[in-house]
Amino acid sequence: MRRKVTVIGAGNVGAAVAQYLAEDNICDVLLIDVVEGLPQGKALDLMQAGPIRGYDVTITGSNDFADMRGSDIIVHTAGLARKPGMSREDLQAKNAEIVGSVAEKAREYASNAIILMVANPLDVMTYHAYKVSGFPPNRVFGQAGILDSIRFRTFIGMELGVAQTETEAMVLGGHGDTMVPLPRYTTASGIPITELMSAERIEALSQRTIKGGGEIVALLKTGSAYYAPAAATVAMVDSVLNDRKKLYPCSAYLTGQYGISNIYIGVPAILGQTGVEKIIELKLAEKELKALQESASMYTKQLKELGY
């Protein structure tokens, strides 16, 4: 019996997640959306692409949350998309309502699943899902730093003229304007980028990474990014389903690491079959640690707005 991943939300991100999962041939996929016909139509379309794209998993669509029974992972992409001029934090109230409702359904129908949050504001929504679902914190985490890191990797590859696959990057902190790129832990073919480009160019690329989502929102005008967020999400799903123990920066629950407690924020974590299996504490410079703690402080304030 194949593993089952339920994707909540059949919009651009959810559909791209379903597509990438199918093309990896690693699980059956269920798309759930409240819009009648939308998940069913996209699922059928994806199924019909299988014979020529080389996958044979089952992809189904539903409007019934009870169908998430038996899910190994629930990927939550549903929520309002950002519009130009809108911050991730502007989305908080409406998306909290959506996330809370789905977390209740997860508790009812798939109490042994892992919840992977993709909806924004990411770190706040991940905490909200953790609280509402009642799941242990290792089984609730968010896709944050890995997306920011692959954006940083892309910009580094473009800057240096090297293959993007030869780059590695580490971006911590909240998935928003307070994220903390770490050039000291960012490399091209194992060489720290601090040896390959000037401090001014590193800062420019760091700032472009921080504004990376907003840059795409401004270009699209009627939506937000979905290919890269979906790719980052599927990498995390793969690490969990196949117990790969990959070390990814993701939104994880802290219990004193980096001097931060009782909050979800982007940190390096090992992802395996039980979810977040270990949080890695990097040796941060004083300035880096302060930036990470300030990022956490901002989300603490936003959680208070939700009653936490």
Which residues are known to be catalytic?
175
With tokens 């924004």, the residue in question is 120
Residue count of the chain, please give it: 308
| Tokens, residue 270 | 């090992």
| Tokens, residue 126 | 């991940």
Note whether 185 and 170 are within 8 A (CB).
yes
Count CB atoms within 10 A of the CB of residue 302: 19
Contacts of 139 (CB under 8 A, 6+ apart): 113, 114, 115, 274, 275
Angle (nearest 5°) at CA 143 between 149 and 250: 65
- Which amino acid, 168? E
- Where b means 16+ CB within 10 Å and e means fewer, 107-130 reads eebbeebbbbbbbbbbbbbbbbbb
DSSP assignment of 207-239 equals HHHHTHHHHHHHHHSS----HHHHHHHHHHHHH
Whole-angstrom Cα distance, residue 47 to residue 57?
8
